[in-house]
């Protein structure tokens, strides 16, 4: 019989803060890459904001919703948290754009969409 602490350590119901932070960091790097690619160099503040806000959206959502019910895959490979982290990323970046109108809204919208897609991909692959 396996000791309880070993079984709990390997059960995929919740994730460590380090794992969640790593997931958020990977997502932020991809969001920053999208911002650097799509936004002009003059939008440096927006580029940095995209990375920071994406990191915070993923980190805070995954940490606050790190419970078995939301981490269990309802669809094969997709949990509620996998679907909701991108939604929070999209909303957070949208709020930022509403509060500080970007110089190029069309390109910022493209970055917002790419960051949202990256959030879904990274959450499905890494968590």
pTM: 0.86
Per-residue model confidence as pLDDT tens for the chain (127 residues): 444 444 444 345 788 999 999 999 999 999 999 999 999 998 999 999 999 999 999 999 999 889 888 877 778 788 888 899 999 999 999 999 999 999 999 999 999 999 999 999 998 998 7
Cα 106 to Cα 10, 56, 117, 125: the distances in Å are: 45, 23, 17, 29
**Residue 12: what pLDDT?**
57
Q: Which residue has the tokens 């995209």?
A: 50
* Contact (Cβ atoms closer than 8 angstroms) between residue 27 and residue 118: yes
């Amino acid at each position: 019989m396996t000791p309880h602490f070993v079984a709990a350590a390997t059960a995929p119901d919740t994730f460590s803060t380090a794992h969640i932070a790593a997931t958020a960091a990977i997502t932020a790097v991809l969001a920053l890459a999208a911002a650097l690619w799509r936004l002009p160099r003059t939008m440096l503040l927006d580029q940095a904001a995209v990375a920071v806000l994406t990191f915070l959206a993923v980190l805070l959502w995954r940490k606050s919703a790190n419970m078995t019910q939301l981490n269990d895959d309802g669809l094969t490979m997709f949990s509620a948290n996998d679907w909701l982290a991108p939604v929070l990323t999209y909303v957070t970046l949208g709020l930022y754009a509403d509060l500080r109108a970007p110089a190029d809204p069309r390109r910022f919208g493209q970055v917002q969409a790419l960051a949202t897609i990256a959030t879904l991909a990274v959450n499905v692959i890494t968590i």
